[in-house]
Structures are given as structure tokens and as C-alpha cells.
Amino acid sequence: MDEILITGLTFQGYHGCLPEERKAPQPFIIDLALRLDLSAAAATDDLTNTVDYDKVCLITAAVVEGIPRNLIETVASSVCDALLREFAPLASVAVTLHKPQAPVRRNFSDIAVHMERVRHE
């Protein structure tokens, strides 16, 4: 299976369980792995045989910048679901959602969740 990778998408959102996380925006960084057969796109050089990267980014932004959620797990799952709904050629979507300013009382370089959803048809 072929893969399109989009890494380092940065958004501002209000996700978290604590009241202070809902008051001021915080950064969320997304890495996407979109799995699909790209042989037709490579052979035809035609955008209609792949996924539009800009549209992928807009859909991801709508989720991350949209309704505040308690858990980044919920946000990542929602991104997966939205992309699978929008792009029929996708066999699976993997999302890594980073929350670099998570309210943790220890030094850390990153906190992230990674999940993959596979199309079942």
C-alpha cells in the first residue's frame, strides 16, 4: 500500500479536561499517514486519482480548531473518521496528535497519541 505523509500541521485549539485549557488556545501538531493505492495517480499524473492535500489539511483544521474535546484521543479519532468519510480511495488513516504544552508537572519534550483507522467495507 502506498502512503502520503503530511507532517507538522500546526493548529490552535482548546482541547483538555482542565478549565484553563479551555480559556486560551494552545498548539496542537498533527502528523498524517494516508494509505491508498497511488498507481493510477502516478500513471496518469491526475489529481483526481489521489487525495487533495489542501483539502486534507482543511478537514483536519476543521476538527482540531473546532469543538473543544476533553481528550486528544477523541480529537485524533475524529480526524481519522472525517478523512475516511471524505476520501473514498483511502484504505486507512494514521494520525499522530501532539500536545506539546500539555499541563503535566514534569519536564517533557512531547505528549502525543497515535491511532490508525482502517476502512471496513
Domain residue spans in the chain? 2-118
Q: What is the mean pLDDT of residues 19-25?
A: 93
Q: What is the mean pLDDT of residues 15-24?
A: 93
Q: Is the per-residue pLDDT at 120 higher than 90?
A: no
Classify domain 2-118 by CATH number. Answer: 3.30.1130.10
What is the DSSP secondary-structure string of 46-84?
-GGGS--HHHHHHHHHHHHTSS--S-HHHHHHHHHHHHH
Task: Kindly list the catalytic residues.
Answer: 99
